[in-house]
């Protein structure tokens, strides 16, 4: 589950990670109030107004701006709140901004130059261990850094049995070229960051940049925090941070009834049991001359209610010219699934696109018979190749 910058920062701060201080606001008036409070707390007279959406590259799209007065805060917030923010990571139409984070200015001049550091905490799948990845090249697109200057990216693997150790924190601070107060602050920052990652059951932290300020403080200026959805039962307070307006409404509707649905751009809808078979079915649609309109895993119990909801969701997409249902009934009986399909079809009424139903497994032949005799505009198949051929036929 993805969080907004302000939510991620609040979690980090609760574990003692130093952050750029700020307050979230829904309106320009609230933004000005927030700026005044931040001024009282921090003495900062300049502020950064940041659009809160689930996408990176906000600065490039005009979603992050420096305000040098309360009037600036007001006018910048008025511009940003409600705008369609387009960044390299949003859909082409952008994302609507509902909130801004008003934060202290941390790039103030001082004894040394401020410098930006990149740091992320993530799972190294191959090793099965949590890894801290960091670089002196902060504030930039890390993929570009990885491509051009891979030697500037460092990794530190954490042994889960003992957690992060002092020598590892020191190594990171040394590799980042820090000394004195900044060095000490960095070791503390890293230790607390790891503690936060484990404590909140994250699956990704990306802090870009971590800033060394001109007075040698180390603080998180941005935060991308992704939590492990499977662990949310341990964190009901974090579960409440989910922002449904950031998600595709159809995917949310599907998720509510236990369907795993992802919207795509193609012309052939599909409904499948099991994620691997669902991806394979999308591939077979492509090989048959179509393009998959969605990924949809109905899960283990493909009963009439779920099948009906799945059909309704797929049919919302007007680009869909055909639907392929591919169920491998292992433990579930195919004739029951077939009955579910017939019932769902009748409940929805007139379906104008051809449906190809491939049922394989227990009682597959009975299921085919049931569908063939239903009088519905449904093509049935038993073998996967037959289903593929039928898709080709209806698209021709």
Partner 1 sequence: MSVLVNKDSKIIVQGFTGGEGTFHAGQMIEYGTNVVGGVTPGKGGQTHLDRPVFNTVAEAVEKTGADVSIIFVPPAFAADAIMEAADAGIKVIVTITEGIPVNDMVKVKSYIDQRDCTLIGPNCPGVMTAGEAKVGIMPGFIFNKGTVGIVSKSGTLTYEAVDQITKAGLGQTTAIGIGGDPIIGTTTKEAVQMLMNDPETEGIIMIGEIGGNLEAEAARWIKENGTKPVVGFIAGETAPKGRTMGHAGAIVGGAEDTAEAKKAIMRECGIHVVDSPAHIGAKMAELLA
**Positions marked catalytic:** 118, 206
Give dist(CA 220, CA 217) in Å, integer. 10
Q: Does 122 bind partner 1 (CB under 8 A)?
A: yes
Nearer to partner 1, 62 or 361 (CB): 361
Residues 183-242 that bind partner 1 (CB under 8 A): 198, 201, 203-204, 206, 224, 226, 228, 230-231, 233-234
**Binding range to partner 1, per CB under 8 A, among 12-20, 182-190, 238-246, 322-330:** 322-330
Minimum CB distance to partner 1, residue 78 (Å): 30
Q: What angle do CA 105, 106, 111 make, to 5 degrees?
A: 130
Closest approach of partner 1 to the CB of residue 385, in Å: 4
Structure tokens at 239: 């579960």
Query: Is residue 335 a contact residue for partner 1 (CB under 8 A)?
Result: no
Q: How many residues bind partner 1 (CB under 8 A)?
A: 63
Minimum distance, C-beta of residue 42 to partner 1, in the bound complex (Å) = 29
**End-to-end CA distance of the chain, in Å?**
41
Secondary structure E strands in 213-306: 218-220, 224-227, 260-263, 268-272, 294-297
Q: Does 133 bind partner 1 (CB under 8 A)?
A: yes
Nearest to 297 by CA among 312, 316, 275: 275
Residue 41-80 contact track with partner 1, rule CB under 8 A, x = bound? ---------------x------------------------
180 binds partner 1 (CB under 8 A): no
CB of 294 to partner 1, least distance (A): 10
Q: Is residue 361 part of the contact set for partner 1 (CB under 8 A)?
A: yes
Does the protein bind partner 1 through residue 274 (CB under 8 A)? yes
Q: Is residue 130 part of the contact set for partner 1 (CB under 8 A)? A: yes
Buried b (16+ CB within 10 A) or exposed e, 44-78: bebbbbbbbbbbbebeebebbbebeebebbbebbe
Instruction: Single out the residue of 331, 349, 375, 396 in contact with partner 1 (rule: CB under 8 A).
Output: 331
Angle at 362 between CA 360 and CA 367, to 5 degrees: 65
Residue closer to partner 1 by CB (options 256, 331) is 331
Which tokens go with 146?
């990885």
Contacts of 375 (CB under 8 A, 6+ apart): none
Q: Which residue has the tokens 């289903």?
A: 387
Residue with tokens 């993530």: 122
Angstrom CA distances, 295 to 264, 292, 314, stand at: 7, 8, 10
Identify whether the C-beta of residue 264 lies closer than 8 Å to the C-beta of residue 285: no
Indicate whether 151 belongs to the interface with partner 1 (CB under 8 A).
Answer: no
Using CB under 8 A as the criterion, which residues of the chain lie in contact with partner 1 when the complex forms? 56, 120, 122-126, 128-131, 133, 142-143, 146, 153, 155, 159-161, 198, 201, 203-204, 206, 224, 226, 228, 230-231, 233-234, 262, 264, 272-277, 279-287, 291-292, 295, 328-331, 360-362, 383-385, 388
């Amino acid at each position: 589950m993805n969080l907004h910058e302000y939510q991620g920062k609040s979690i980090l701060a609760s574990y003692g990670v130093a952050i750029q201080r700020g307050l979230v606001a829904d309106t320009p008036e609230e933004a000005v109030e927030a700026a005044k409070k931040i001024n009282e707390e921090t003495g900062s007279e300049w502020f950064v107004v940041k659009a809160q959406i689930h996408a990176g590259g906000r600065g490039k799209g005009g979603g992050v701006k420096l305000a040098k007065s309360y009037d600036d805060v007001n006018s910048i917030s008025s511009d940003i709140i409600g705008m369609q923010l387009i960044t390299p990571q949003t859909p082409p139409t952008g994302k609507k901004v509902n909130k801004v984070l008003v934060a202290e200015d941390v790039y103030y001049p001082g004894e040394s130059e401020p410098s930006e550091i990149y740091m992320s905490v993530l799972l190294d799948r191959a090793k099965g261990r949590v890894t801290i990845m960091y670089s002196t090249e902060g504030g930039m697109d890390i993929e570009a850094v990885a491509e051009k200057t891979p030697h500037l990216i460092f990794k530190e693997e954490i042994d889960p049995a003992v957690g992060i150790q002092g020598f590892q924190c020191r190594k990171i601070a040394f590799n980042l070229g820090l000394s004195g107060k900044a060095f000490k602050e960095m070791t503390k920052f890293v230790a607390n960051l790891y503690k936060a990652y484990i404590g909140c059951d994250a699956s990704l932290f990306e802090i870009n940049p971590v800033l060394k300020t001109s007075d040698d403080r180390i603080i998180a200026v941005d935060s991308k925090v992704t939590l492990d959805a499977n662990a949310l039962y341990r964190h009901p307070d974090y579960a409440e941070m989910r922002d449904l307006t950031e998600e595709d409404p159809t995917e949310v509707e599907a998720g509510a009834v236990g369907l795993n649905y992802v919207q795509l751009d193609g012309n052939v809808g599909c409904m499948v049991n099991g994620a691997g078979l669902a991806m394979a079915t999308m591939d077979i649609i492509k090989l048959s001359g179509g393009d998959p309109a969605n990924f949809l895993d109905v899960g283990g119990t493909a009963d009439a209610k779920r099948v009906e909801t799945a059909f309704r969701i797929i049919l919302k997409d007007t680009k869909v010219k055909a639907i392929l249902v591919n169920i491998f009934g292992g433990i579930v009986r195919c004739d029951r699934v077939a009955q579910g399909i017939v019932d769902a079809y009748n409940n929805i009424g007139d379906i104008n696109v051809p449906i190809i139903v491939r049922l394989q497994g227990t009682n597959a032949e009975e299921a085919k018979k049931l569908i063939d005799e239903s009088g519905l505009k449904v093509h049935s198949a038993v073998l996967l190749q037959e289903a593929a051929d039928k898709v080709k036929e209806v698209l021709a």
